[in-house]
Amino acid sequence: MMKLWMAPLGLHIEPAEPIDAETLAELHARGFYRGWPREEFAAYIAAPDTPIYVACDAKRRIAGFAMLRLVADAAELITIAVDPKWRKKGVGLALMRALFEDLRMTPARQLFLEVAADNPAALKLYAKLGFAKVSERQGYYARADGLPATALVMARVLG
Ligand SMILES: CC(C)(COP(=O)(O)OP(=O)(O)OC[C@H]1O[C@@H](n2cnc3c(N)ncnc32)[C@H](O)[C@@H]1OP(=O)(O)O)[C@@H](O)C(=O)NCCC(=O)NCCS
């Protein structure tokens, strides 16, 4: 059965396909200080334990994506990124809700993630979705100014 979820602004969410690797690498590079090469995305798209969800329009132009890693009865949000011109429009929330729904089909009962303490957009998104802080990793993320940022580990029970 084709997996498909609705998103705002006429977008929908569906699983990533091999052809998306280049676009995902570009989008990721726009959202993070450290990018991932296209080859890594191609490998993740092909692997069953790292599902990737893309938010796209009818022509399959991608506005954002999220990637999970499934490990036994837990899941980890590896990354989420929305194209700067599509931000603050509910795309990130829609991606997260789609993956919550999809996780109901897996044994995963908890979703973990790591977020930089200096990332207010992501912190707002996760707080809205009921994530709570589990622990902290000081000096975890490299930053352009040389001052590393603290990582917060957050988790949410899956319903
Ligand atoms: C984090 C990110 C994915 C959010 O995506 P988005 O589509 O803009 O998020 P949404 O529009 O669904 O917003 C979700 C909530 O967060 C809030 N929010 C989004 N961006 C915000 C910002 N820059 N500052 C404060 N709040 C923000 C929204 O207002 C919304 O809350 P509301 O409904 O109460 O208004 C996006 O900013 C992004 O791609 N950032 C770069 C990559 C990144 O940091 N990823 C997370 C790594 S852990």
The span from the CA of 116 to the CA of 123, in Å, is: 8
Atom of ligand 1 nearest to the CA of 93: 12
pLDDT at 159: 79
Mean pLDDT, the chain, whole residue set: 95
pLDDT above 70: residue 1:
no
Out of 44, 53, 126, 141, pick the active-site residue: 126
Distance (angstroms) between ligand 1 centre and the Cα of 45 equals 24
Ligand 1, from 125, 126, 133, 156: best to mutate by most atoms within 8 Å of Cβ?
125
Residue nearest to atom 24 of ligand 1 (CA): 121
Selection from 20-34, 100-114, 141-155 with the highest mean pLDDT: 100-114
pTM for this one? 0.96
User: Which domains are assigned to the chain?
Assistant: 5-157 (3.40.630.30)
Alpha carbon distances (Å) from 28 to 88, 100, 110, 112, 155: 17, 21, 25, 20, 22
Q: List, chain by chain if needed, residues with CB within 6 Å of any ligand 1 atom.
A: 31-32, 80-82, 87-93, 115, 119-122, 124-125, 128
pLDDT above 70: residue 138:
yes
The span from the CA of 8 to the CA of 15, in Å, is: 17
Out of 114, 136, 140, 141, pick the active-site residue: 114
Alpha carbon distances (Å) from 61 to 8, 27, 54, 117, 150: 14, 12, 9, 31, 34
Distance (angstroms) between ligand 1 centre and the Cα of 122 equals 5
pLDDT at 35: 82
Distance (angstroms) between ligand 1 centre and the Cα of 8 equals 14
Please enumerate in sequence order all residues whose Cβ is within 8 A of that of 60, keeping only pairs 6 or more positions apart, or say none. Answer: none
DSSP state, residue 89:
S
